[in-house]
């Protein structure tokens, strides 16, 4: 049986570096690259622009999104047919966004906090995201240092003001039970990874790969 196309979208301001430890049973997984949003872009209009990276004329693809990428692929799926969505360490229902995030959004903290200074605070990021080995810490440090602050502010605004509830049809969630960034979704098709943190895509790549590979057909 042939496999449908597979497209991966990484976490906020990140790229394919976060996927490098996965062992996916797919002949040609493709990574959707983040692009610079316009200030007036919504999550929906931004998703429309990313769709241009999906090859037209194919059968409906499988989309895998990590963290913020998981939110954006859900917006993509509102605009094109997809075979399946795989939400990795992501959010399926915006009503589950923690109260402290909602408070930050109401105070517009993402607009005035000096986010550029946070790019030097890699030690707390290791704890918060769950980077443990030297390779994981190096990758996370490099991604944080490469982060574009205006894109980060735009993305945080989208997350804090997004209103969405995932369909239970052809959507699967894979989440760590120790994720400090996003809560475990209350979702019917959920695989919970024991001791998994937000970046379990690296720290528990073997287990996560086995789960993902169940849904690549």
User: What average pLDDT does the segment 92-102 reach?
Assistant: 81
**Would you say residue 160 lies in a domain?**
yes
Q: In the predicted model, what is the mean pLDDT of the chain?
A: 90
The pLDDT assigned to 112 comes to 41
**Would you say residue 115 lies in a domain?**
yes
For 1-55, the pLDDT digits (tens) are 679 999 999 998 788 999 999 999 999 999 999 999 999 999 999 999 999 999 9
**Would you say residue 186 lies in a domain?**
yes
**Residue 55 exposed, middle or buried by CB count within 10 Å (0-12, 13-18, 19+):** exposed
**Would you say residue 1 lies in a domain?**
no
**Would you say residue 98 lies in a domain?**
yes
Q: What is the CATH number of the domain that holds 62?
A: 3.40.50.1820
| DSSP summary character for residue 20 | T
Residue 63 main-chain phi, psi, to 5 deg: -115, 130
Selection from 53-57, 113-117, 163-167, 209-213 with the highest mean pLDDT = 209-213
**Would you say residue 102 lies in a domain?**
yes
Q: Are 115 and 149 in contact (CB under 8 A)?
A: yes
3-state secondary structure at position 135: helix
The residue segments making up the domain with residue 122 are 6-213
Domain count, the chain: 1
For 143-187, the pLDDT digits (tens) are 988 888 888 889 988 998 899 999 889 999 999 999 999 999 999
């Amino acid at each position: 049986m042939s496999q449908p196309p597979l497209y991966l979208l990484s976490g906020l301001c990140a790229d394919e570096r976060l996927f490098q430890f996965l062992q996916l049973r797919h002949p040609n997984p493709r990574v959707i690259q983040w692009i610079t949003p316009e200030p007036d872009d919504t999550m929906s209009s931004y998703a429309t622009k990313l769709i241009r990276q999906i090859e037209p004329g194919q059968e409906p693809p499988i989309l895998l999104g990590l963290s913020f990428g998981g939110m954006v692929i859900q917006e993509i799926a509102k605009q094109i047919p997809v075979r399946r969505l795989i939400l990795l360490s992501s959010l399926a229902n915006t009503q589950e966004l923690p109260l402290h995030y909602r408070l930050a959004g109401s105070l517009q903290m993402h607009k005035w906090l000096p986010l550029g200074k946070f790019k030097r605070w890699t030690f707390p990021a290791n704890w918060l995201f769950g980077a443990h080995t030297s390779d994981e810490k190096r990758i996370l440090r490099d991604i944080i240092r490469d982060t574009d602050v205006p894109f980060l502010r735009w993305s945080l605004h989208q997350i804090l003001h997004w209103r969405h509830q995932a369909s239970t049809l052809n959507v699967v969630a894979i989440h760590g039970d120790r994720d400090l960034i996003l809560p475990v979704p209350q979702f019917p098709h959920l695989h919970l990874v024991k001791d998994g943190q937000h970046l379990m895509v690296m720290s528990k790549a073997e287990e996560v790969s086995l789960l993902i590979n169940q849904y690549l057909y």
